[in-house]
């Protein structure tokens, strides 16, 4: 198990219900593995300066899920999507990795693709993961009779990525 802090954040397209599911999933993971320091940022700006104020970097680089989504967005035959490889490269290049090595879990509301391949719900590389809740966005509540199933699916997405990062799954 990696002893690095875990930072979970998402873009503003991830709705309140999905964010609640992610938060619950992270909370449950933390109860199972209390030695991990877990921080949930949701869709708000993540980085603060030493005075506790939001970090003001050029165009707020690396500071929110919306920035990561914007910088990794591509358009393919099916429309707008996030390029998983670009998003992972941005996570790896993020400057706070040099002073505060950590695990990044980025969740986007857009389709997540690897160009020339199809949709992927989770892409993991080393200690970074990009995940998509896109497949949950347009499911009417009446089609998902058991709301608990939707909660478990979203938490499962998160746990799947954490399992890969921590070597608990292949």
The 10s digit of each residue's pLDDT in 51-104 is: 555 544 444 677 789 999 999 999 888 889 999 999 999 999 988 888 889 999
> Structure pTM?
0.84
Output the six-digit token pair for 105.
């879990």
What is the C-alpha end-to-end distance of the chain, expressed in Å? 14
For the purposes of burial, counting CB atoms within 10 Å of the CB of 162, is it exposed (0-12), middle (13-18) or buried (19 or more)? buried
- Alpha-carbon distance of 61 to 86, in angstroms, equals 15
More confident residue, 136 or 27: 27
Q: What percent of the chain has pLDDT over 70?
A: 81
pLDDT at 170: 65
State residue 91's pLDDT score: 93
Query: Are 50 and 18 in contact, with CB atoms under 8 Å apart?
Result: no
What angle (nearest 5°) sits at the alpha carbon of residue 26, between those of residues 130 and 44?
65
Coil, strand or helix: which one is 45?
coil
For the chain, percent of residues with pLDDT exceeding 90: 43
């Amino acid at each position: 198990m990696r002893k690095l802090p875990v930072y979970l954040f998402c873009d503003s397209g991830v709705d309140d219900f999905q964010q609640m599911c992610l938060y619950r999933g992270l909370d449950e993971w933390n109860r199972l593995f209390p030695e991990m320091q877990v921080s949930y940022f949701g869709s708000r700006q993540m980085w603060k300066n030493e005075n506790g104020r939001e970090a003001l970097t050029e165009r707020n680089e690396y500071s929110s899920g919306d920035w990561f989504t914007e910088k990794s967005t591509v358009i393919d035959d099916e429309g707008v999507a996030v390029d998983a490889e670009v998003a992972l490269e941005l996570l790896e290049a993020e400057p706070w990795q040099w002073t505060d090595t950590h695990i990044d879990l980025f969740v986007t509301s857009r389709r997540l693709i690897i160009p020339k391949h199809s949709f992927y719900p989770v892409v993991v590389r080393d200690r970074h993961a990009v995940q998509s809740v896109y497949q949950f966005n347009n499911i009417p509540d009446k089609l998902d009779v058991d709301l608990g199933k939707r909660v478990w699916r979203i938490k499962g997405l998160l746990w799947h990525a954490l399992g890969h990062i921590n070597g608990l799954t292949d």
